[in-house]
């Protein structure tokens, strides 16, 4: 079960880049939180960081709609955010809109594809 405060808070957020759910509290379950927000029509992107190191929990969370799932034990909140930033390549405190970040990420992917395509002409 989830803290009602978490859902109330997420109802008030307007287009956060990501919601990082840290599952180190017994009352907070990432998969249930994602399902609860979707039932209320709240459409945010979620990254779940959990101390539960089981495949079933990871699969359940991703199926619920999480964009990513990390297993982390004994990390501080700052270390968790650094882990997420490193793996997603975007600062979580960015002031850019979700659309601008998606466009920027898409442009980077296109540039990398172009580079690989050009490289394939001269390399096996």
Report the percent of the chain where pLDDT is more than 70.
80
CB-CB contact of 91 with 101 (8 Å): no
Residue count of the chain: 124
- Stronger pLDDT, 78 or 124, i.e. the higher one: 78
Asked if pLDDT for residue 119 goes beyond 80, the answer is no
Asked if pLDDT for residue 38 goes beyond 80, the answer is yes
- The pair phi, psi for residue 96, each rounded to 5°, is -75, 150
* Predicted local confidence at residue 15, as pLDDT: 66
Give me the half-sphere count of Cα atoms (radius 13 Å) on the Cβ side of residue 55: 0
Count of helices and strands (H, E) across the chain:
5, 3
* 20, 57, 101, 122, 124 from 32: Cα distances, Å: 14, 11, 27, 50, 48
pTM attached to this predicted model: 0.61
Dist. CA 27–CA 119, nearest whole Å:
51
pLDDT digits (tens, 9 = 90+) for 3-25: 667 778 787 776 666 778 887 66
Asked if pLDDT for residue 111 goes beyond 70, the answer is yes
pLDDT digits (tens, 9 = 90+) for 60-103: 999 999 988 888 877 787 887 787 777 776 555 555 555 666 77
**Residue 34: closest CA among 57, 81, 2, 58:** 2
Annotate 71-81 with b (16+ C-beta within 10 A) or e (fewer).
ebeebeeeebb
């Amino acid at each position: 079960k989830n803290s009602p405060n978490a859902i109330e808070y997420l109802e008030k957020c307007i287009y956060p880049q990501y919601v990082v759910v840290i599952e180190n509290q017994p009352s907070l379950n990432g998969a249930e939180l994602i399902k609860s927000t979707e039932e209320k029509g709240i459409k945010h992107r979620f990254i779940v960081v959990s101390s539960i190191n089981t495949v079933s929990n990871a699969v359940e969370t991703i199926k619920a709609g999480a964009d990513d799932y990390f297993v982390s034990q004994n990390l501080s909140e700052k270390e968790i955010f650094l882990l997420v930033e490193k793996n997603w390549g975007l600062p979580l405190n960015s002031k850019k809109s979700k659309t601008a970040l998606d466009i920027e990420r898409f442009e980077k992917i296109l540039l990398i594809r172009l580079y690989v395509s050009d490289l394939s002409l001269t390399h096996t």
